[in-house]
Structure 1
Amino acid sequence: MTDPLAPVLAALGRAGRPSSDYDLNPETILPEGLKLRPAGVLVAFDVSGAEPLLYLTKRSSHLRHHPGQISFPGGKVDPGDDGPIGAALRESHEEIRLDPANVEVLGTLEPHETVTSFLVTPVLARIKAPFTPRPEAGEVAEVFTVPLSHISNLANYRVESRRWRGARRHYYVAPYGPYYIWGATARMLRALADGMAQ
């Protein structure tokens, strides 16, 4: 029987390259001596149904950073974490109540640099048994799933732009139903889709 995550595993086996929020904005001048803070996000797939489903969150609208945006569960690496993988697992447990014991880590993609000075490592994982997500009140407004077929289809990605800090900034988007997936989340998904398409 074929592993439903075979395309994801194949992408992990191929050499990728780091990505950043500046990929589509090469004219951006970064400050000298910029220090990036390490972070990890969990790209977790539920394979219990007919098609693998990816878990994403919609951040609370009253958060100071990225309110209302679509994101992976995850966050910055704390001193007690075992690197980005540990941070992704800990934050996923806090944000959506996904037990780390119910997660099989498959590997990591190349890190992504954000405009907010984080170096984010996407941690790809399989959820071992079905679970019911419980969003952390105050931080997560909603938890939802997106089919692997949607994020693996390069035709579902497009480039949009808006004014940001006095300049026009371009970024990837990959809308799904009522959810506007954009920015760093869309860029990391695009990197995975590129790997699956090779």
Structure 2
Amino acid sequence: MSLEQLLRAKLDPLDAVAHETARTRSDNDLNPDWDNHPETRPAAVLAPIIKRASGWTMLFTERAKETPAHPGQISFPGGRVQASDANAVDTALRETFEEIGLARSFIEPIGAWDRYDTITGYRVTPIVGLVEPGFDLALDPREVASVFEAPLDFLMNPANHEKREAQWQGRTRYYYAMPYDGHNIWGATAGMIRALYERLYV
């Protein structure tokens, strides 16, 4: 089975996304003794998988240091669900265009995987979009400092899923990190990647 066939077979179909039937993961997956998250404001992100001839990659953003939302962190393009959005897919595509200028005409949304609750109070629906090469990007400097791509083979290799710890609110918390080529993919973004790996291969 090819990677594309695997994705199409294992991801939640887009009509299921609209009906909120997906399973939920969270920042507490590695911290089961922590309380559940008190709020779950709806958000969505796009996990752009670029169909490079040399090997498929996943595109990430580095947040601008001036933005109030997770400054300097590595993330997928995305954000809060707005009242004008038809569904999570619409949110992910709208935010992707606003943040990095990736046009919808290059993206084929094919499904979602487990929703992800963050310690900052969001319930994020991650959407996989297959992206045809040849696009141009236009970054919104208020939100995004830069973008980069990481090989999907690297991200889907559990040997690259490091478990780290840090102090937060006076307690030890554990989280995933996937450092790649000078970029530290960690926290919720790494947790979502881990959940995608488990959806596809475990």
One-letter code aligned to 1:125:
G
2:113–2:199: 8 Å Cα contact kept in structure 1? no
Question: Which residue of 1 is the match for residue 185 of structure 2?
Answer: 181
Question: Which residue of 2 is the match for residue 26 of structure 1?
Answer: 32
| Aligned with 2:84 (options 80, 100, 106) | 80
Q: Cα offset for 1:151?
A: 0.9
1:7–1:196: 8 Å Cα contact kept in structure 2? yes
2:12–2:111: 8 Å Cα contact kept in structure 1? no
Q: Deviations over 1:146-167 (max 9, x none)?
A: 1110111111001101111111
TM-score when normalising by structure 1: 0.91
Question: Which residue of 2 is the match for residue 8 of structure 1?
Answer: 7
Question: Which residue of 1 is the match for residue 114 of structure 2?
Answer: 110
Q: Secondary structure at the match of 1:115?
A: coil
Structure 1 residues 132 and 10, CA gap change in structure 2 (3 angstroms): same
How far apart in 1 are the matches of 2:27 and 2:118? 5
In structure 1, the gaps of 5 or more residues are none
1:63 aligns with 2:67: yes
Q: Cα offset for 1:62?
A: 1.9
Stretches of 4+ moved more than 4 A in 1? 13-16
What fraction of aligned residue pairs are identical, expressed as a percent?
36
May I ask how many residue pairs the two structures share in their alignment?
195
Matched ranges for 1:124-139 at <5 A = 124-139=128-143
TM-score when normalising by structure 2: 0.89
Q: Cα offset for 1:4?
A: 5.0
1:56–1:143: 8 Å Cα contact kept in structure 2? yes
How far apart in 1 are the matches of 2:181 and 2:10? 26
Structure 1 residues 152 and 11, CA gap change in structure 2 (3 angstroms): farther
2:58–2:150: 8 Å Cα contact kept in structure 1? yes
Structure 1 residues 16 and 81, CA gap change in structure 2 (3 angstroms): closer
Q: Cα offset for 1:99?
A: 0.9
Question: Which residue of 2 is the match for residue 121 of structure 1?
Answer: 125
How far apart in 2 are the matches of 1:16 and 1:86? 17
The RMSD of aligned alpha carbons is: 2.0
How far apart in 2 are the matches of 1:12 and 1:184? 19
In structure 2, the gaps of 5 or more residues are 14-20
2:43–2:80: 8 Å Cα contact kept in structure 1? yes
2:161–2:176: 8 Å Cα contact kept in structure 1? yes
